[in-house]
């Protein structure tokens, strides 16, 4: 388990998720010229190598045990300081809410409220990660906002503190703050670092549907479900065993989403048919991913899926954390 006493701070040179810091000028409410700063942060998607649900807790959350890892598909978050104290959301995707429903907005508001920050921020979200896809796009945007505002507003917060803040926003946000590969337990906020998994290609395919995570969890019957072998997946990662990793994939939510959306089953079957080594639904879906360790087969899987989905991506596993730890 990650020690809450972790005090590693961010370094602008080594902190790979922070892409660029630029300066500009704007006028405040009194017409005075003030310097502003724009900072860009990557917000990578995640996939679930395993997802197990153990039981429903008294607080109505589910106790989970899941292994997640980041992939080379990312939104880009721009953070520009403003002197009116407001939080503004701009996005390249019209389906993204621009108010307090947005997790990045919630992250900025939480930072302001917790640390008494008077400054405002304009948050620009350049979307690459599909929305409502089981890839933690919104959670990753929130995590990137937390990390970026820590720099922009010179708060000097540790990564452990940012992860604790992230847990107040959503179950996946803590993992997204750390990134890399990890075992997540509790409701997803307890993070145990793991090594990077064996290197391979990942093909992601999302059908034209959105899935309600609450509906999927609500439809899960814990009686008689087949639980993934989390310990075996950890062994595969720690021993860099690609075949064992492929054989250890598992997600208990698949059965629920498959019943609600049969097209997800079809995508999984087609991905297998086109030659992926292993195939699984990520999160509550509907995105399905396939692992491929051969570049020639990668093209066949990718091109084959293009006939079934508009949103298909061929990416690499990132696996390693980008923060200083």
The set of catalytic residues is 46, 172
How open is the CA angle 161-10-108, to the nearest 5 degrees?
55
Summary count for the chain: helices (H), strands (E) = 10, 12
Give residues with Cβ within 8 angstroms of 95, minimum separation 6: 131
Question: How would you classify residue 132: left for phi > 0, otherwise alpha for psi between -120 and 50, otherwise beta?
Answer: left
DSSP-derived 3-state class of residue 137? helix
Burial 284-314 (b: 16+ CB within 10 A, else e): bbbbbbbbbeeeebbbebbebbeeebeebbb
Q: How many CB atoms lie within 10 A of CB 62?
A: 19
Question: How would you classify residue 282: left for phi > 0, otherwise alpha for psi between -120 and 50, otherwise beta?
Answer: beta
How far apart (Å, rounded) are the C-alpha atoms in residues 6 and 233?
Answer: 26
How far apart (Å, rounded) are the C-alpha atoms in residues 155 and 170?
Answer: 22
Do residues 255 and 225 touch, judged by C-beta distance below 8 A? yes
Do residues 182 and 176 touch, judged by C-beta distance below 8 A? no
Q: For residue 166, what are its two tokens?
A: 């992230």
């Amino acid at each position: 388990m990650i020690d809450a006493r972790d005090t590693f701070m961010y370094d602008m040179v080594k902190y790979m998720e922070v892409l660029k810091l630029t300066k500009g000028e704007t006028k405040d409410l009194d017409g005075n010229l003030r310097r502003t700063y724009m900072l860009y942060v990557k917000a990578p998607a995640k996939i679930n190598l395993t997802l197990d649900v153990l039981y429903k807790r008294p607080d109505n959350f589910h106790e989970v045990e899941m292994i997640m890892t980041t992939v080379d598909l990312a939104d880009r978050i721009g953070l520009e300081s403003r002197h009116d104290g407001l939080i503004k959301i701009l996005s390249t995707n019209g389906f993204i809410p621009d108010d307090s429903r947005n997790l990045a907005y919630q992250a900025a508001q939480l930072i302001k409220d917790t640390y008494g920050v008077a400054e405002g921020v304009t948050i620009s979200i350049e979307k690459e990660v599909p929305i409502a896809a089981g890839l933690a796009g919104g959670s990753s945007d929130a995590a990137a906002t937390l990390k970026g505002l820590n720099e922009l507003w010179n708060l000097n917060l540790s990564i452990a503190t940012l992860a604790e803040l992230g847990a107040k926003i959503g179950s996946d946000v803590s993992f997204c703050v750390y990134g890399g590969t990890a075992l997540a337990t509790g409701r997803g906020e307890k993070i145990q670092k793991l090594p990077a998994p064996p290197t391979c290609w990942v093909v992601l395919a999302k059908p034209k549907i959105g899935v309600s995570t609450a509906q999927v969890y609500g439809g899960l019957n814990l009686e008689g479900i087949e639980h993934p072998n989390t310990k075996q997946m950890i062994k595969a990662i720690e021993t860099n065993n690609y075949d064992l990793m492929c054989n250890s994939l598992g997600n208990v939510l698949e059965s629920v989403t498959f019943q609600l959306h049969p097209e997800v089953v079809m995508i999984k079957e087609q991905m297998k048919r086109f030659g992926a080594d292993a195939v699984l639904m990520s999160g509550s879906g509907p995105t399905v991913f396939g692992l491929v360790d051969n570049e020639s087969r990668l093209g066949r899987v990718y091109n084959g899926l293009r006939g079934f989905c508009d949103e298909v991506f061929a990416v690499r596993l990132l696996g390693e954390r980008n923060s200083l730890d």
